[in-house]
Structure 1
Amino acid sequence: MLFAIAIDALNSLLLHAHRHGLLQRLTTRHAPSSISLFADDVVIFCHPPRQDLQVIRELLHVFGEVSGLRTDFTKCSPTPIRCEDPDLLTINTELACVVAPFPMTYLGIPLSVRKPSASSLQPIADKLSKKLASWRAMLLSRGERLALVCHVLSAMPSHILVLLALCRPPPPPVLKQINRILREFLWYDRKETQNGHGPVHWQRVCRPLELGGLGIPDLHRQGIAMRARWLWLQRTDPSKPWVHLHLPSDADTTAIFRTSTTWTVGDGRSCLFWTDYWLHGKSIADIAPSLLPLVPRRRRKSCTVAEGLSDRRWIADLHGALTPRALVEYVHLWQLLRPFTLSTTPDHLSWRWTANVLLHQLRINFYPYDLPILLMLHLQYKYRIIRVYLWKGVLFLLSNEAIDPSATNTPVSMLV
């Protein structure tokens, strides 16, 4: 913790140098993000000109004199990314460090300017196998092996789950191999079997305990949840230094994030016009699906509600001829947008799936007139909350004088 606080002072020095023009900004459009911290490992990003390197070296010297955390350049390694030969000579002269080549492996993750291949992630599976070699699985009970799978083996590949989204096709082969290693260690006391199958389907094993599973993390779904959280932080916390970057996200993550969030539109400067759920709880893509292919992809990702409603600029985003269906959707969308007005308050993004929202949806959709559906869900999934509302619904109908339990067209008679 003390190290992180001290490194925050170094970050403030770098930001001060950026504001006064001593260091070049990494990008011309966004705020500088020049430092990355993980535990006691620090990475500083800068441009390769001589002036920038001299400023970085002097800032590290000043920071070391003040904090006592002096930099040993013999243990540092600059890594040039798309630099020319004169830049490499300048780096060797100014920093006097051993230059590390790029692409490289940092904190167990292969870094490259291109999408990682499945073979580059193979060392993760090899690390799991090496870990198993030191364990005497035959001397452990199944409960002890379950604890090791949940808290040790499943945690080892967690830091690469975001990286797995870049591999195609999803899920990558290395993820299937990791699941096979976990499955075989849990059921068969060893890391290799002939058939590779367990007595229970692995997706059922990865369910939570309250749903009949063993609580083992599902790495594929855990990766989706992690990437969805990145999307959430990108839209709700503009102070993050990586907000302007393109985050790795597959189709499943994007669909879950857009379905699970809803916007309360204020000034319309943060909410996207074409893809976010802001118009009566729906998105323009859902209201007018035939119009969305006519909008360029760049405009879908950049056009805000304020920009689209200003002088009806969303009409200019449509390129191409309108089909009869698209024309009907265009008129319907025009009628929905015409009375819509913006305010001065900022937009607010909210998460739909809270406990209160789920309970409210259960009361609205099932209670008390869909008892056969509740019974079917209870028999299939055995949810405790559904069982409670099932019997509450039965008691409600039996105690309601307006409903005759002996009739043949009531939910009670259908339930019986």
Structure 2
Amino acid sequence: MEALTRIVVKAVEAGLFGDLASISPLQRISVYADDVVLFLKPLQGELWATRHILSLFGEASGPHVNFRKTTATLIRGSHEEEERTARILGCELAAFPIRYLRLQLALRPLTKAEWQPLLDQVTKSVPGWQRGLISREGRLVLINSVVAARAVHQMVVAEAPTWMLEEINKWMRAFFWADPERPWQGLPGLKDPEAEGVFQSLAQFTVGDGRLTYFWRDRWIGGYTAEELAPEVFARVPTRRRNSRLVAEALQEDVWIDDIHGEMTVDLWMQCLNLWEAVEEVEKDSTRPDSITWKGVESGTYTAKGTYKMLCQGGIRWAMSKPVWGSFSPMKCKVFAWLTLRYRLWTSDRRARHGLQEHPDLCYICLQEEDNVDHIFTLCPYARQVWYRVLRSANLRIADPGFTGNLQRWWTEARKRVRRFDRKRFDTMVICTAWTLWKQRNARAFGNEREQKTVEQVLVQVRDDFHLWERAKRGGRLGAARE
């Protein structure tokens, strides 16, 4: 790379490159490993000279410049200069801000959206769950040497806004002062009012020694909470006391009365007296611990499955839930099938609806119809050939999905013609075929020629993947199937 620098300096001295204000010939090029930045004017002579210099350097040294992976950025250039640059250099044009050596370079102050990736990079440099596995001295070194260094690196070229510095400092403080016994400390707390209401309505507390039940929050007073029995009294209790006062502590010499702040009125005394009487009527057994009975399930013990089943009572079951989630395909393929049937794949028609592109593209395989879910998996001639070959290789006399034009409708009708004990294998075969078609579509959409396959090759791929998934179901190469 030193030779390239010397060639550029010689080109400046020979007049192939014009002078740039406040820049010496040596500063015209910045080289770090295989990352190179070259400053020049968008004139025809300088552009051709740059292309020839880079080509000759590649022929002489070995490392050739891939102009397809090279970008040119103009500093306040005209439209004519942009066209000239793209035509001569044969590379893509990139607008500011651009990234070089992980630095965000721009002509104007960066927006909050442009600063956010750097903030994410800083906070994700060390996963939060590791804080409990590192000593405090180690955390201090890690913060000063790694986390803070990333932010300082960006501030070499741009002044960070106040909000970003505060976010970084906040994350570093939480990481440094973490309690090793509480690795979740510092993570954002999510509190769903609806979920809390469901919990309060289904959880029934039986007080024993009072060391697990909260006096002000839990539903332990005859099936009621203190807030429901005495709302004005509850409003006078500080939040910190509501969230920390246990029944065992509150009932010692009626300490809970001291939690009530403010002037006591007649109505407040009446509610306080009613609450005291209700508390006295609760049966307590200090010889056993508190217990919680979950009314959402028959056993009285909380389970996620039982609670979810109870919450979904009365709902409409999706007809394709069993074919999708009951198959023995990998989880990522099940999620893919669910997204496909719900029309949630990011095809070009959906991108256009969301304003991510102006118009839907044509199918990347056949270039005939619009790129959408129905066409990719049922109507595309390539897909119809694949389905025909797959169904024939499985000895199934079923028409391909192209006759219906809708994958879910075809799948529902086709599985009825399959024997009941073979339907799970049929569902897996459908997901495997659709998954392979989607990968072929993406290989053409992103120009990955190595992954593009013919119909015969796709048939082999579907057969191999299906047998691998089936083997994983029987306890074989499960890890390989997951990949």
Asked if these proteins are the same fold (TM beyond 0.5), I'd say no
Relative to the length of structure 2, the TM-score reads 0.35
Relative to the length of structure 1, the TM-score reads 0.40
Q: Which has the larger radius of gyration?
A: 2
